[in-house]
Amino acid sequence: MTVKRLLLLGPPGAGKGTQAARLEKSLHVPQVSTGDMLRAAVDAETEVGKLASSYMERGELVPDSVVIRVAGERLKQDDAKRGFILDGFPRTAPQAEALDELLDAMDRPLQRCLSLAVDENVIVKRLMRRAEIEGRADDNEETIRNRMRVYREQTAPLVDYYEKRNLLVEVDGDGSIEEVAERLEAAVAA
């Protein structure tokens, strides 16, 4: 069985965005990245963007109520009916619970949570490199460290949350983009 409603979980810099974009092509379902949507909202200076920007600059999480609304609206769009690859959402227990409720109400529950495990030193190196290449405002060393702490405290507990629901598959995120992509494809097809 190939699953079509899935979630990529992992620390910042684990490669979620890169891998979600590849899975989008191979599975023909949209990547849903709250980080991308929030950055677009900041650039467009919308109400959501104005609310989110100070949190994002500090590497803090944007309040649950805002993110849940943004992700919920996206998941209700037509193209997400075929499936979706969630990338960077949920990041807290209340977000995970809200997601479950929303998907249950649509009768389209999550089918798998792929957890990308990567060593912290590898991540900091990757993010510093991304800072040079992409120039993202929140890719500086202080913010990176803060995002790692936020991940450990608020997002890492979701691994247990999905394990208890029998949805969790751990994937080794250390390796080339190709290597990790192959492991993910195998985890999706299993």
Q: Which of 7, 20, 38, 113 binds ligand AMP (CB under 6 A)?
A: 38
Q: Interface with ligand AMP by CB under 6 A: which range of 90-98, 101-109, 113-121, 164-172?
A: 90-98
Instruction: For residue 174, report the phi and psi dihedrals to the nearest 5 degrees.
Output: -90, 120
118 binds ligand AMP (CB under 6 A): no
Collapsed DSSP state (helix, strand, coil) of residue 140: coil
Phi, psi of 160 (to 5 degrees): -65, -40
Neighbour count for residue 99 (Cβ, 10 Å): 20
Residue ranges in the chain assigned as alpha helix (H):
16-27, 34-43, 47-58, 64-75, 93-105, 120-134, 141-150, 158-164, 177-189
As measured in angstroms, the least distance from the Cβ of 128 to ligand AMP is 15
DSSP-assigned letter for residue 154: I
Closest to ligand AMP by CB, 61 vs 116, is 61
The nearest distance, CB 104 to ligand AMP, in angstroms, is: 19
Q: Is 55 in the site for ligand AMP (CB under 6 A)?
A: yes
Can residue 151 be called a binding residue for ligand AMP (CB under 6 A)?
no
For ligand AMP, which residue of 14, 67, 86, 118 counts as binding (CB under 6 A)? 67
CA 190/CA 6 separation, integer angstroms = 13
Interface residues toward ligand AMP, by CB under 6 A: 12, 34-35, 38, 55-56, 59-62, 67, 88-91, 95, 138, 147
Which active-site residues does the annotation give?
16, 91, 130, 136, 147
